[in-house]
Structure 1
């Protein structure tokens, strides 16, 4: 049996203390909360702070774990050949501590959006579901398993 391969990623719901959430527009066109893959030898919180800074220009402090998600669907990479392994994502609440809004090779725009307007901007069903879990936050960590293709299908959902 082959050793399992997983992608580990972290997402940040960055709250500015004035009711706004940091969103970035990806080069693929969709608005999302920032985050990305953890690199070899990197811890989750440092990876998330790095990704938020790279994608938006905002420096953050990572605070509360709010959700753990598994995308267990079999998908192809952008090359339409390479299989993407199971992705495990951990979402955290973060707060800004410096920096200025900017963009990167991965993002075309970044902005602060009123908390109650965020769902109007996010088009990805999986990201919408994860943001809704943040809105529904009740002091528990959410866990969800889903697949995204051919459409979002939630396979398991619970709180701890």
Structure 2
């Protein structure tokens, strides 16, 4: 399996060769915890998410990706933000794809399911909001979680 390497404003980063619309989902439960995965491709903690497939809406992709990576069923409840910073590049070593960031981050609530590992997640856990950004993760993921913590009245477009 290849690795995922995130770069931010790095002059030594490879040149972007793709732009793939993707989605991440902040799932908050009734205890004030958010659903996190430990990625198998870089060992960092992250929100569930992935590429939006052809023929799929942003909402459908968020629901599907969350279920595939965590085993949790969700209902999408809103938007956190849209992230498209060309300084953030993601290098997938398996096929040498270098994506420019383009992620739509949604908010959701759990409706069922059981935390379950996948090929993309070595751990799945509910993390208290106060501790979520303390986990080892890429700066872009930490930024997205912090934007979620700001609240419903603040939508980020960057």
TM-score (ref. length: structure 1)? 0.80
Paired with 1:56 and 1:76, the residues of 2 have a C-alpha distance of: 23
Equivalent in 84, 93, 97 of residue 78 of structure 1: 93
In structure 2, stretches of 5+ residues that fail to align are 1-16
2:26, 2:47 within 8 Å by CA — same for their partners in 1?
A: yes
Deviation string 1:51-89 (CA, Å, 9 cap, x unpaired) is 00000000000110111101314554314x734243311
Say how many residue pairs are matched. Answer: 140
Matches within 5 A, 1:109-148: 109-137=123-151, 139-144=153-158
Give the gaps of 5 or more residues in structure 1.
145-160
Structure 2 residue 73 is matched with structure 1 residue 59:
yes
Q: Secondary structure at the match of 1:53?
A: helix
TM-aligned CA distance change 1:36 to 1:75, over 3 Å = closer
Indicate how the Cα distance of structure 1 residues 75 and 127 shifts in structure 2: closer, same or farther if over 3 A, else same.
closer
Is residue 99 from structure 1 mapped to residue 124 from structure 2 by the alignment? no
Moved over 3 A (4+): 73-76
Displacement after TM superposition at 1:41 (Å): 1.2
CA distance in 1, matches of 2:120, 2:59: 20
Superposition map of 1:16-35 within 5 A: 16-27=29-40, 28-35=42-49
Distance 1:83 1:54, change over 3 A: closer
Contact 1:122-1:128 at 8 Å conserved across structures: no
* TM value normalised by structure 2: 0.81
Contact 2:90 2:100 (C-alpha < 8 Å) held by counterparts: no
What CA RMSD, in Å, does the superposition of the two structures yield over aligned residues?
1.8
What is the rounded CA distance, in whole Å, between the counterparts of 1:138 and 1:50 in structure 2? 23
Q: Would the aligned equivalents of 1:25 and 1:107 in 2 still touch at CA under 8 Å?
A: yes
